[in-house]
Amino acid sequence: MNIPNLLTVLRVLLIPVFILLFYLPFSWSYWAASAVFSIAAATDWLDGYLARRWEQSTPFGAFLDPVADKLMVAVALVLLVDEHSNLWLTLPAAIIIGREIVVSALREWMAELGARAHVAVSNLAKWKTAAQMVALVILLANPPTFTAWVVFGYALLIIAAVLTLWSMVQYLLAAWPHLRITTEEK
């Protein structure tokens, strides 16, 4: 267990904390939940940076880091869909969660074929993650009323959903030659 792995574990442990804060009946609860989510999002960047810088990448970290990210984002999206209950948030949330399932399954399958590098994380996916995280921080910090901040959060989440679909298409196209292989070609 090294510092980057501890940061990843911390990210998972912060999930129930931001859920609890989100549902507290206080005027500051949205801000507190958003702040904890922001800290968790920052550890996502920090653990990867430290693991590379200190050459402390581990199989455990390589496994847990994407799981922690997906859990954190999925939980935030579910909380927001429940709270906002509208198409502007529900549709992008469904797209984002659905894409994560498809791409995770694709990566796992490609790894079994020994072709995992064909579906490595792209720069487009990093832009998607940035838009998504900023949108979630904004939306978690605000009650579900149509303020300028909430509309901006929706717009960023829609942008993240479009980038999500675009990156998924890129992954599928990169994997397509492996998906087309028949038993005779193996």
d(CA 64, CA 104): 13
DSSP 118-154: GGPPPHHHHHHHHHHHHHHHHHHHS-SS--HHHHHHH
State how many domains the chain has: 1
Q: What is the pTM of this model?
A: 0.87
Identify the CATH number of the domain in which residue 176 sits.
Answer: 1.20.120.1760
Tell me the residue range of the domain where 108 lies: 3-182
Torsion of Cα atoms, 126 then 127 then 128 then 134, to 10°: 110
Q: What is the pLDDT along the chain (186 residues), one digit of tens a residue?
A: 899 899 999 999 999 999 999 999 999 999 999 999 999 999 988 988 888 899 888 888 888 988 999 999 999 999 999 999 999 999 999 999 999 998 888 878 777 777 655 555 667 878 888 999 999 999 999 999 999 999 999 999 999 999 999 988 888 888 888 777 654 555
Which whole-number Å values give the CA distances from 141 to 95, 107, 148, in the listed order?
Answer: 22, 33, 13
